Amino acid sequence: MDAHANRFLEGFSEAGRNRLIGDMIHQDLSPGAYLFREGDAAYGVCLVLKGAVEIVKVAGTSEKVLGCFEAGEYFGEVAVLDGYGRSTDARAKSSAVIATIPSDILFEVLDKEPVALTLGLFQNVLNHLRRTNDLFVQEVVRKEKLSLVGEMASSLMHDLRNPIAGIHLASDLITMNHDDAETVHCCTNIRLQCDRVVAMAGELLEFSRGESKLDLVQTDTSAFLKQYLTLNEEYFRTTGIQFSLEADPAPIEVDSMRLLRLVQNLVSNAVDALSGRVGGHIDVRAQVVDSIFYLRVQDNGPGIPDAVKDRIFEPFVTHGKKGGTGLGMAIAHSVVKAHRGTISFVTAAGEGTEFTVKLPQNSECAAVVQA
């Protein structure tokens, strides 16, 4: 894109515009490269000529993307005008070309331009600050919500221990006195479901604290899906939806309980989406290819609404679910991240959605997924 077309230069006189363009400093950025980091000196206003740059605020080990600027837009004017250092990071979202107008040149040109132009620039700064304040308030509210969730989860963990221990003991006693296959099968399911309840409460507590402690175990894709089927047979029968579970046998090393929870979230969301639709089906597939464990959940539902598509993995984002907390997909994302994997989706209106989870086959090949 020609620098003349950038929004920042609108309103400048021809002489002022030519002076600014003549003194611009151009930089090429590869995806993920940083233009500047928080605390750096504000040396100028940055114009995006090609690609996209995201503005990132880092807090501890987490980060928040505050905005994204594409070709024709500009950023960094606030730090230039107030004289302080950069308050955020700026990182290339894709390959990008940035033109920077040095601060001293900008002030020299503004001094010769009409006052109305400077006032317009300050108006844009105020609008930018208002958007940033809104994001800050949203983040504060989100943290308050997570704090409340943590308190609730902690209370649940405390209150569940004794009843769950009693149920475990009772199922063990039943098995000791009745060793027929059906009774053993039912008691095994009781214990599994108890462990599942405790794991869900613990997972919620860890998520509220920004933690995710894995208990990796050796299993295989077939055994994993078989366990999922065992825990959800009755649920499948009540939905009226056709389910297909398919696995290519291969060894894997995962936190089975957390991964079962992830699949349950994806499947239950698909079931909700298919509610009232005739001929609904959900396919769950597991396989290992080139040391990567692929887990796919596909449905033929209406697709993910545009209203939540870009924020689906954020906490408290929900759409069209009665009683939904908006935490299911956020927790699923944290589980994948803890496994050093990735989760993505492809969706189309009226055609359905497919989620793909990619995890390292075991802890020794974790770098494969990140490559």
Domain hosting residue 55, numbered range: 3-113
* Spans of the chain below 70 pLDDT: 1, 59-62, 81-83, 120, 122, 124-154, 156-158, 207-211, 316-326, 366-371
Question: What pLDDT score does 11 carry?
Answer: 83
Question: What pLDDT score does 184 carry?
Answer: 83
Any domain includes 340: yes
Any domain includes 192: yes
- The domain spanning residue 356 has which CATH number? 3.30.565.10
Question: What pLDDT score does 140 carry?
Answer: 56
Question: What pLDDT score does 4 carry?
Answer: 82
Any domain includes 236: yes
3-state secondary structure the chain: CCHHHCHHHCCCCHHHHHHHHHCCEEEEECCCCEEECCCCCCCEEEEEEECEEEEEEEECCEEEEEEEEECCCEECHHHHHHCCCCCCEEEECCCEEEEEEEHHHHHHHHCCCCHHHHHHHHHHHHHHHHHHHHHHHHHHHHHHHHHHHHHHHHHHHHHHHHHHHHHHHHHHHHHHHCCCHHHHHHHHHHHHHHHHHHHHHHHHHHHHCCCCCCCCEEEEHHHHHHHHHHHHHHHHHHHCCEEEEEECCCEEEECHHHHHHHHHHHHHHHHHHCCCCCCCEEEEEEEEECCEEEEEEEECCCCCCHHHHCCCCCCCCCCCCCCCCCCHHHHHHHHHHHCCCEEEEEEECCCEEEEEEEEECCHHHCHHHHC
Question: What pLDDT score does 92 carry?
Answer: 94
Residues 173 and 310 reside in one and the same domain: no
Any domain includes 139: no
pTM for the full predicted model: 0.55
Question: What pLDDT score does 2 carry?
Answer: 77
